[in-house]
Amino acid sequence: MPSPSSPSRRFIAGPLIERQLRRLTQHKYNACGSSLLEIVMQPLWRRLLCLVPMRAAPNALTLTGLAFNASSAGLMLWLCPDARQNPPAWLCLYAAAALFSYQTLDALDGKQARRTGTASPLGELFDHGCDAANTLLLCLCVCIAAGFGEEPHLLLFMIGAAQTVFYAAHWLGYNSGRLQFGLVDVTEAQAAAMAVFLATAFAGVGVWDLQPAAGLPWLRVRHCLPISTVLASAPLVCRLTVSVATPGGLSVAGSGRLGPGLAWLALSLLSAAAAGAAVSTGALHRHPCLLAFALGAPAVKTCQRLIIAQMTRSSIRTLDLCLVWPALLAVGIGVGHWWLGLTEGQVGWGVSVAAAADCAVYSGRVCRQIAAYLGVQVLRIS
């Protein structure tokens, strides 16, 4: 990567201002802690790194892994659009293999960057940005494999909780300047998702309807997933609460620590309004996965905006274009059927496409802008 004074440094217009780009060049990756499974998996990842060609760009590894998961999510949504069907065993096995591929390639990209001497802030941003998108896609796959379409409110909760945990982890990094990994973290969550896929592949989706406790007739095996999500995220929530509540505490931007919370709160309130409209009209029961994606895509962009704010040591704006999409979804579902003559499915598809395009265009513009400023290429080794 060129030095800050390199003549190849070039500013082009985009979402970031030049001050943010200058600060980005000063960013150093800072993380602490290792999860239990990560310690076990590291020897395997080091061995697999030897199989990666030296000419392979680290970001290309990350994007390839995301493409695997996106393909499994697309197939799941195509064959099980309302998460109430029994997904084919081959598809569940493919989803498990795709997730393992993503996990492996995501672990190798940083090692490949150091191995080839191409480590840069763009690589870290690209990695975490893909993680934000993968959180939504993976949660949709898990919810379909576990038959959450029977309880669509829990499907929304699962996706919202997973994205909130992801956001909270980076909010804590925004406050402290360092990402903190716990004993139970991303690697364990991905392993649990693989277990869900394998269970459905060999036992069928009906296994998630079983009652694990005779004295609790309302409890189903699938309920263990949201319960375990809440329990596993409790330590992170406690650390974040202490960080935000510390008197006089400042973020990496030198400002207060509540800024990311306001951005997430604004999105959450609008998403709750859209979810309420979907529940009251029955649209959530008829189109659970479609509406979950429409609400999850704006959250992906908000997570990416926080990651950029952390790496550029700048504040995150509360207002953003992504807030328009849940608002449109709420209005479209509530009155679109008689005001605009649109069906719930048409509203859901329209908002989903618009929100995904907004996120993709934003990500592409940021990557192009940073690559030009650093004098590097996004998917190739210069």
| CA-closest candidate to residue 143, choices 10, 292, 20 | 292
**What is the number of H-type helices and E-type strands within the chain?**
13, 2
Tokens of 363: 């990500």
Considering 27, 128, 153, 287, which one is annotated as catalytic?
128
Question: Which amino acid does the sequence have at 179?
Answer: L
What are the backbone angles phi and psi of residue 32, rounded to the nearest 5°?
A: -140, 155
Q: Is 128 a catalytic residue?
A: yes
Helix/strand/coil for 213: coil
Cα 217 to the chain's mean position, in Å? 34
- C-alpha 310/C-alpha 302 separation (Å) is 12
The rounded distance, in Å, linking the Cα atoms of 98 and 220 is 27
CB 343 within 8 Å of CB 102: no
Q: What length does the chain have? A: 382
Element (H, E) at 283: helix 283-286
Catalytic residue numbers, as ranges: 128
